[in-house]
Structure 1
Amino acid sequence: MSAPLTVRNLSSTPIELKLIERFGPPGGEEEHGIGHIKKFGALAKNVTSVFSDTESSPPKLADDAQSFARQDVNIRIEPWTTQHTDIAASERGPGEVLRLTFEAEGQPYRIDTPTPNPRSQVLVPLVPDPRHQYTGVFIPSETYLTLYSSMNLNCWMREFKDETPLSGLSIPGTHNSPTHHRALPSVRCQAVSPREQLENGVRFFDIRVQPGDPEDPTKDTLILVHGVFPISLSGNKYFRDLANDTLEFLDRNPSETVIMSIKREGPGEHTDQQLSMIMHDHYSMDGSRWHTAPWIPTLGNARNKIVLMRRFALDDRLKGEYGGRGWNIDAENWAYNTPNDTHGDVCVQDFCEVLETENIDIKIKYSAEHLERAAQMTCPIPGITTDAVNPVPPGPFYLNFLSASNFWKVGCWPEKIAQKLNPTIVEFLCTKHAEGVDGDGSTGIVVCDWVGANGDWDLVRCIVGMNSRLLMKEMGQ
């Protein structure tokens, strides 16, 4: 028997469950009189996401649908609280549709659960001019519904104050971000291009480059690589094009910023010091478009810019930059294969050697533990959570790599690991993340593989949605 309904409110507003309606299973004996449900594919995973998605509309019961049961209720759920109810998932058997109508500030919003559509959907407002937009994730195995405040993914940072330290935000990222081309299966880590990632909310890029002409200081060639391999079987791809694409996105969305972590990899003879001078002399000269200071900026100082995070050593000529503090945010030398290491301006989970499929569960454990470390952090916002004149310095970036692989094991290629890990992390965020903590409930920077595959941006949406507690503080709630 299914568990009774649980509702978790991770939005920034109180909501009330007001009405429960029950419908027979589509296609069953009770379909007569209740219409039909439009189908958008089979439910292929345990987590059924309900977020807005431009590719498809949420499946709906027909206009003439008639419920076989109706119950008025009044269950209030405050922001960032969970309400366990005695509402049964079904009354007559499996396959029933449970329609839930919520109310916020006197306006109703509706969702049907479960839904056969694993893509993102928006709760349906039942008024012409809704003041809010809500999203959610329904987990059928636990009859668990989590609700979020919706955000526009292509410009979600505009909701936050300029004074917000960048390390206080929950930020979706991608691992080996430009590796969406046809390549060796252990080299390819992404389903879609960096352009599409940006449009769907990703704000952290993990980039690996190989200096193409390291001995010639007049050349700016940086080849995109993953380890010793090129990222495409059809020819070299270049950092210059990626940087231009990112700056063009920021031109269209000046409220946003993109953190770029740069690391030197690839075959041949070249050094970190040569890479640092190429980046300094050929890419980041314009201070209005590149943040190169060796400290974590506020969002206001980072908007419309690429923020550089270095995983390379500096040339001696750059060590004296910024009053002797160096150049770029320091992420140079965290421990390899680490479940938790703090170095420079980052606190990192990067357990990457998943040699057997059984080890994926260990990776999930380390990833969840690091999410909880980030959740305990309280972001120092001048004038709100710290002194306006002499604010507490921001904490480090919590970098949480969901990526791992083993070239020799098909079940441990990046795509295969992401198929198991990504939905598991979605479920963790919805049901367990930040429960009972006093911090902001942040996720930190969550660095993912294969987000956006087949239009599935659920993990990105959940990460962005976890900013709501911070947003509430900034709004004085």
Structure 2
Amino acid sequence: MSAPGPVTIRNLTAQPLTIKLVERYETPNPKDFLPNGGFSVSNVSSNFTTLFSNKTSHSPASVNEKAQAFTKQDVDLRMEPFTTHVTDIKTSERGPAEILRLTLQGDGGGRWRIDTPTPSSASQTLSPLTPVPKHDYTAIYNSADHFLAILESTNLRNWMKEFQDETPLSALSLPGTHNSPTYHKALPSVRCQAVPPRDQLENGVRFFDIRVQPTNPSDPKDDGLALVHGAFPISLTGPKRFRDLLKTIEGFLDRNPSETLIMSLKREGTGNATDQQLCQILHDHYCSDQARWYTSPSIPTLAQARGKIVLVRRFELADSLKGENDGKGWGLNAENWAYNTPDCTYGDVRVQDFCEVLETENIEKKISLCCDHFERAAAVVCPIPGVTTDETNPVPPGPLYLNFLSASNFWKVGCWPEKIAARLNPAVKDFLVQRHDVGDKGVDGPGEKVEGDGGVGIVVCDWVGQGGDWDLVRAIVGMNSKLLVRQRGVGWK
């Protein structure tokens, strides 16, 4: 159990929130509490369960309504959107096992509450105290730092519907996955994902990194594309096909027309196929339907991309396609960024892809490089029609910031994708909700001012969704908060 200290609270929502009431409750069984600040449900006695009521898997363990607070304090701490506050509210007064309850109020009159410490490091939904609240909120609590981050609860299945049609994709913070379909039984260095692509889509992922190999490149009529990772197939139980993956994606977009999927395609695998052959196969057999694919060589707005797959090209163009779009080519250009790069701008992308984590000691370097790239993306400003841009003063909508959290070393067990993700994903989540885009002021006071929309670009992850944990995705989507504030306007409630 960490020592008592003042609670730091960060409002990562698009609305002002005010803490109105602080209450403290004793718990009957301190031994049930864990060193991480939560408590073990398996150790909770029947007497303990009468005091607490567990709701959903991501709902807080709330103090029973009949329990009496041993202290109550009215406060009036206003937190503007995307501000951090070091409060004078201590985590505990009598002992480490007490429960601290905070009641928050929105400008529209709604009220919510959250109890800390939360049962685990997983996100918790705030309990609404008003019927049919206009907003729902989610909290992520880091007990080691006594840090409570509050995000707007989002339906991850169709989170893009909140944004204006004029929004360029480069302005959004987008969760993505690396080698997206590699969730099958495979070599440990080949498997990069915990769950299938459909689950990723349903839980907010909007960028897929796909590697394919033409199965019969000498026959232009053959559309066969096998899913691979490097020289290996993605499954030990039989080949997996790109066509089947597309059916999953298309079905999701049909059910959720407000969404889009950015797809990076690259040729890998054994054999003698060329990029030009892959390009021609994709053009002739897959990407010709303009109602389904966006293949223009310029970053689209959401209006242009909704319901579609946006092609990011990591292969050379076929000669026959170099004249497309008035000689500008075909697809967004990500053909050849520098290998193992901490920061490279090429074509339509700016990339962090430091991947050679050869020793476990290098994982910290990888985390640092990821965080550096988040801060570069934070400076991006989305053009708001009629406000920040017009025909005379346009704001360019690019590049796409790609931030790969992935890395591996086949020869080192501690550096396999799953092992690296187990350390890197929680560290990145904590960085995003606590320290991303806070500027030189850090958390010394409220109202930090940073130029830009505070986004993080496209964050390409390994092993998200493992055990139902989508909090890294929630944190990434939550980084769109500043953009929402600007798009909704000052008077929005």
Common fold: TM-score over 0.5: yes
1:70-469 to 2 correspondences below 5 Å: 70-104=72-106, 105-387=108-390, 391-436=394-439, 437-469=450-482
8 Å contact kept, 1:209–1:265: yes
Q: Deviations over 1:76-106 (max 9, x none)?
A: 1111111111111111121221111101022
8 Å contact kept, 1:165–1:381: no
Q: Distance in 1 between matches of 2:207 and 2:56?
A: 23
8 Å contact kept, 1:260–1:309: yes
2:12 paired with 1:10: yes
Q: Look up the SS of the partner of 1:308 in the other structure.
A: strand
Q: Distance in 1 between matches of 2:276 and 2:359?
A: 36
TM-score by length of 2: 0.91
1:470 — aligned with what? 483
Q: Distance in 2 between matches of 1:333 and 1:376?
A: 24
2:51 — aligned with what? none
Q: Distance in 1 between matches of 2:484 and 2:91?
A: 33
Alignment partner for residue 69 of structure 1, among 59, 68, 71?
71
1:47 — aligned with what? none
Matched residues, number: 462
Amino acid at match of 1:201: G
Amino acid at match of 1:102: L
2:444 — aligned with what? none
Deviation (angstroms), 1:39: 5.9
Q: Distance in 2 between matches of 1:139 and 1:335?
A: 36
Q: Deviations over 1:342-384 (max 9, x none)?
A: 0000000000000000000000000000000000111123223
8 Å contact kept, 1:208–1:226: yes
8 Å contact kept, 2:123–2:141: no
Q: Distance in 2 between matches of 1:423 and 1:274?
A: 40
1:46 — aligned with what? none
8 Å contact kept, 1:9–1:79: yes
Q: Distance in 2 between matches of 1:346 and 1:427?
A: 26
Q: Deviations over 1:380-430 (max 9, x none)?
A: 232232115763221200000000000111110101101110010111011
Deviation (angstroms), 1:54: 6.8
8 Å contact kept, 2:39–2:120: no
Q: Look up the SS of the partner of 1:417 in the other structure.
A: helix
Q: Look up the SS of the partner of 1:141 in the other structure.
A: coil
Amino acid at match of 2:364: D
Amino acid at match of 2:454: G
Deviation (angstroms), 1:69: 1.8
Deviation (angstroms), 1:29: 9.2
Q: Distance in 2 between matches of 1:286 and 1:222?
A: 18
Q: CA RMSD in A?
A: 1.8
Amino acid at match of 2:104: F
Amino acid at match of 2:161: R
8 Å contact kept, 1:339–1:351: yes
Deviation (angstroms), 1:71: 1.4
2:23 — aligned with what? 21
Q: Distance in 2 between matches of 1:262 and 1:159?
A: 28
8 Å contact kept, 1:58–1:117: no
Q: Distance in 1 between matches of 2:380 and 2:152?
A: 21
Q: Deviations over 1:308-366 (max 9, x none)?
A: 00100011001000010000000000000000000000000000000000000000000
Amino acid at match of 1:246: I
Amino acid at match of 2:196: S
Q: Look up the SS of the partner of 2:20 in the other structure.
A: strand
Q: Look up the SS of the partner of 2:60 in the other structure.
A: coil
Deviation (angstroms), 1:140: 0.6
Q: Distance in 1 between matches of 2:393 and 2:285?
A: 36
Q: Distance in 1 between matches of 2:42 and 2:121?
A: 8
Q: Distance in 2 between matches of 1:254 and 1:162?
A: 13
8 Å contact kept, 2:5–2:92: no
Q: Distance in 1 between matches of 2:194 and 2:82?
A: 32
8 Å contact kept, 1:257–1:305: yes
Q: Look up the SS of the partner of 1:85 in the other structure.
A: strand
